[in-house]
Amino acid sequence: MRDAYHEELDSIGDGLVEMARLVGSAIGRATTAILDSDLKLAESVIEADKKVDELQHDLEARAIALLARQQPVATDLRIVVTSLRMSADLERSGDLAQHVAKLARLRFPERAIPHDLHSTVLEMGQLAQRLMAKAAEVIITKDVDLALQLETDDDEMDLLHRTLFQHLMDDRWRHGIETAVDVTLLGRYYERFADHAVAVAKRVVFLVTGEHAADLQPDIQPEIGAAGAGEGA
């Protein structure tokens, strides 16, 4: 009975890793789509998000069934509840990758991103993808040190986000308001994507160390957008 139970628990973990891989791939491809103005690629990212949503529903159903059938307590209960939260983070990350792709589609055949922001956006996309790859690895290995690395990576994302805002606020900005709006939203999508990857990793830390979530809460200061705008101003 306990074996079947642990198999179920493992399969929930596998589902989380698969979700993380899919959304990591999605943010990478969405970034390429928006930089190259590649409509087909954008549409494939938009379409692929359904798979992420399905995985989440499936994972939630299994987690709830497991709660009902096995009635876990203590650590096991915490693992299941935390898995539900992680799946919500990953589903939301998928939405954000989809938003990037939808912005690419909306502006096609124009390029949403002006040439002088190309490298910053590319770096944000790559960093987002790396963060999610590390989050997946943290789920698999439960490596607390690796999980803590994601915070440092996230600082890097904040820096890139500020760079983006500095471009926007520069007096030499000549790309108009529409592009400024697109870039503002895009920056926010990457930043939130990174927040969710960090959140996933921190939830694993919480499971492993039992440290209180208050110290590990991810979403407390995501107003970098506004702050970045302020600093760039």
Q: Does 99 bind a second copy (CB under 8 A)?
A: yes
DSSP 148-193: HHHHHHHHHHHHHHHHHHHHHHSTT--SHHHHHHHHHHHHHHHHHH
The closest alpha carbon to 6, from 72, 84, 87, 83, belongs to 72
Rounded Cα gap, residues 40 and 136, in angstroms: 27
Q: How far is the CB of 108 from a second copy (least distance, A)?
A: 11
Cβ proximity to a second copy, 154 vs 182, nearer residue: 182
- Are residues 90 and 192 in contact, defined by beta-carbon separation less than 8 angstroms? no
Tokens of 149: 């690395």
106: how many CB neighbours lie within 10 A of its CB? Answer: 12
Cβ proximity to a second copy, 83 vs 130, nearer residue: 83
Q: Does 230 bind a second copy (CB under 8 A)?
A: yes
166-205 mask for a second copy (x: CB under 8 A)?
Answer: --xx---x---xx-xxx-xx--x-----------------
Rg of the chain (C-alpha set): 19
Exposed, middle or buried, 62 (CB in 10 Å: 0-12/13-18/19+)? middle
Q: Does 73 bind a second copy (CB under 8 A)?
A: yes
The closest alpha carbon to 100, from 186, 202, 196, belongs to 186
Cβ proximity to a second copy, 194 vs 229, nearer residue: 229
Q: Does 146 bind a second copy (CB under 8 A)?
A: no
Q: Which stretch binds a second copy (CB under 8 A): 4-12, 84-92, 144-152, 153-161?
A: 84-92
Q: Which residues bind a second copy (CB under 8 A)?
A: 53, 57, 60, 64, 67-68, 71, 73-74, 77-78, 81, 84-85, 88, 91-92, 95, 98-99, 102-103, 106-107, 165, 168-169, 173, 177-178, 180-182, 184-185, 188, 213-214, 217, 219-220, 222-223, 225-227, 229-230, 232-233
